[in-house]
Chain A
């Protein structure tokens, strides 16, 4: 598993250790942590208030006469209000309780003997403006029919404890609301099955909770995801691009929940899809917030953007990428290679490689002369091709060049040179046996190439076995070995053979095989196979060139 851009061991371990189950859920509601904490505090005050409130409501329910509420000149028979003329004790609130003010009564029976009309006021109907001392009484005017135009209410202001009473109630209510919030956003504990509503936290880098999300049942799991990458685009910044698998187990499911969330329906009122990993919300982007109509996503055209820093985008992409694994990873081996050690080994390796190349070239030149030059050129060619491929793989697949890889490359030098050597030696032998250089070149190549293929195939089998059956460093080595072998075959067939063919036809050269590093035998003159010359071996060397 390669984690590009992660250079801290602990972060790498955290990221890797996280890859349990990945789920996409519709967001029902969410709350910043601060608000939750505030609600928590408010709800904590609920305990104190409930005692007071209990007293208040019981008192307020008692019918009580107060000194304050009198109705002057209210004719009893005209009053639709039912007067509860219980003699009640003055209450703390100083307001007498009035029963239903709207009810009609039998005016006759309701005739009061007194001049008093008692207003029962339902405390809940009181709208208090807590900032002032005002008490607003809502009275249904139909309920009051007075002979006069006056209804005078005398209220003893001292008897009114508006601040305490109404504020207390308000506080009570606030506390109750807060408690609702606390209950609503309490984290789900224990095993969280995929198909229920849950409340999950979202953490920041320092592992502090930043928000709480109330989420619906799982819509898509990590199984539906193929992978994800972090990308940068100008004007947008860093975003994450996941790729879903096609069809009903991947992108279709996602579009389903996407559509529901876009519409902000009952199943997804918040309009966001939460990405949940390890019972945490990683991110909860909203769906196509700028467009009025939901357009189903193409499986690889989804982007998740949200002013991510590069780090955040890469982390989310990694989480998505590996969260697509249905397994939980446990760190078995971790290795920090300190930069200095790594660099030293690298530069040592490169230096060794260059010196080695130089010396090999020298040797080839001395031994094979012109052919040696061809060998060096062929080496350079396969080296260039190998380099290109490795660079490309490094970009597209994240292939890293390790020490094993460097070794593989050094081995590749040996392999490449060897195929040249096979051919050259074959050439030499042919020429020594009496062929002309030109015919030897043509004749020897297919034979030599078949030998090269045989041997290279064995190398390829070895590389393939290693690649598919091992992990880690050995696998990297096998890859480089296999690549180098294939490229060697290509370079030999398409470059070295034809090149030698061309060179050998140049007139100045083919007459002089020594230039090709093909010495003519001195002591043993050419054996020309010609049965008629008897026991042969006495005719002179054909080309007559001194070795």
Chain B
């Protein structure tokens, strides 16, 4: 308990020293497993597409005590006996069938109304023509592609292209996991779901960009010392930005969680419930992916750059690196340039972010070791 309290306290003060790179290994393994499960579910179970994408008619009626079997019996005369019938949230019956003529629709409607003991008007009816669905899907796909393209360009321009790659990988990871979640539990995918996915992507990106911004800031400052690898600098940035990410997630999760709870208690708010669940999963995954997926990808990519290769070499030769835990950037190095008494600190941080140090520091002469 005390340990827990001290962890919290350290987090509150931003003094935690989490070793992210070490966690990355586990995280990436875990992510891979989850992604594989998602794919598998997608392939074998498929997704439950709502009528907005497939066409047909859907009837929803609040009917707390009616079972699926009873509903199917009642519908036998209306030609909808082989419809997809489900209960949502225990209170609502949803029937989906390929009936599109008004007479057929109305007959199912009145049958359901009678069954549930409500008036016709209490039955929600949605009819979708077949071409609508394919159009919506087409539009959604185009929007998604355009979105990815623009975001990639934006990040590449504002930050750097390697970060754009990392961001896209993270976003795709989030989407795959979210869709897999829906597929696994066979939740219905409607336009509202698509919105949820888009929200998740938006959050993930937002988070990732803030992380990257911090990384660039730190890297810009600390690279000049030549004493730390990119990964170590990234570790520092992640630690600094952790609480910010966590806080944002918490403040986003709280309204969504309340939507989820309210939705599960209120009659008829099933859409809200499923939606909230997707959002919840997505936000959590989004935060995780910013810190573990996006960061890891970029670190891997950046370490290959000649400058960082050189630095890593030098450090290894100096023997300063011990084992495979990430060294902590020493406090004075971390704050180098940011707490300077003059006003040049922040400016230096801004201008140096993105520029690589022109002159590597002179190698120290120690006996017995030669630079390769």
Contact = CB atoms under 8 A, between A and B. Distances in A.
A314 interface: no
B14 A432 contact: yes
A421 interface: yes
B139 interface: yes
Interface stretch (A93-101, A130-138, A347-355, A497-505): A347-355
B64 to A, nearest CB: 13
A481 B196 CA distance: 12
B3 to A, nearest CB: 15
A452 B154 CA distance: 15
B129 interface: yes
A348 B269 contact: yes
Interface in A446-484: 446-447, 450-451, 454-459, 461-462, 465-466, 469-474, 477, 481
B262 A336 contact: no
B121 A338 contact: yes
- The contact size tier of chain A is 35 or more
Interface residues of B, number: 87
A474 B132 contact: no
Contact of A470 (B140, B210, B259): B140
Interface stretch (A111-119, A151-159, A402-410): A402-410
B248 A414 contact: yes
A352 B262 contact: yes
Interface in B3-18: 12-15
A334 B128 CA distance: 6
Contacts of B217: 447
B331 A356 contact: no
Contact of B191 (A337, A340, A418, A472): A472
A536 B332 contact: yes
B302 interface: no
Contacts of A537: 331-332
B184 interface: no
Contacts of A415: 206
Contacts of A291: none
Contacts of B143: 465-466, 469-470, 474
B168 to A, nearest CB: 12
B272 A345 contact: yes
Contact of B340 (A351, A410, A450, A529): A529
Contacts of A435: 339
Interface stretch (A59-67, A120-128, A393-401, A422-430): A422-430
B55 to A, nearest CB: 9
Nearest to A335: B126
A532 interface: no
Interface string A304-346: 0000000000000000000000000011111111111100110
A78 interface: no
A547 interface: yes
A204 interface: no
A337 B266 contact: no
Interface in B241-255: 241, 243-244, 247-248, 250-252, 254-255
A427 to B, nearest CB: 11
Contacts of B191: 404, 472-474
Contacts of A339: 121
Contacts of B181: none
Contacts of A404: 191-192, 195
Among B122, B136, B244, B257, which residue has the most Cβ atoms of chain A within 10 A?
B244
Nearest to A435: B339
A442 to B, nearest CB: 10
Given A345-B271, A477-B195, A355 B258 contact: yes
B147 A335 contact: no
A32 interface: no
B233 interface: no
A340 B92 CA distance: 12
A545 to B, nearest CB: 13
Nearest to B217: A447
A443 interface: yes
B139 A469 contact: yes
Given A333-B127, A433-B339, A459-B206, A529 B332 contact: yes
Interface in B304-361: 331-332, 335-336, 338-340, 343, 345-346, 349-350
B249 to A, nearest CB: 9
Contacts of B196: 407
A1 to B, nearest CB: 13
A519 interface: yes
B128 A422 contact: no
B263 A352 contact: yes
Contacts of A360: 251, 254-255
A527 interface: yes
B210 to A, nearest CB: 5
A481 B206 CA distance: 13
A514 to B, nearest CB: 11
Contacts of B139: 469-471
Given A332-B128, A407-B275, A465-B143, A521 B15 contact: yes
A535 B332 contact: yes
A527 B332 contact: yes
Interface stretch (B23-31, B197-205, B222-230): B197-205
B65 to A, nearest CB: 17
A348 B263 contact: yes
Contacts of B35: none
A233 interface: no
B198 A466 contact: yes
Contacts of A454: 158-159, 209, 213
Contacts of A535: 332
Interface in A259-283: none
A357 interface: yes
A357 B332 contact: no
Given A344-B269, A425-B243, A465 B150 contact: yes
B268 interface: yes
A180 interface: no
Given A341-B60, A345-B268, A469-B142, 10 more contacts: A332-B131, A336-B124, A336-B125, A337-B124, A352-B258, A404-B195, A434-B335, A443-B346, A473-B192, A519-B12
List the 7 closest pairs (A to B, CB-CB), nearest first: A356-B255, A414-B252, A332-B129, A348-B269, A352-B259, A469-B143, A335-B126
27 contacts: A333-B52, A334-B126, A336-B125, A345-B272, A356-B256, A356-B259, A359-B258, A360-B254, A360-B255, A407-B192, A411-B202, A413-B252, A415-B206, A417-B251, A425-B240, A454-B159, A455-B210, A461-B151, A461-B154, A470-B139, A471-B139, A474-B195, A521-B13, A523-B15, A524-B15, A529-B335, A529-B336
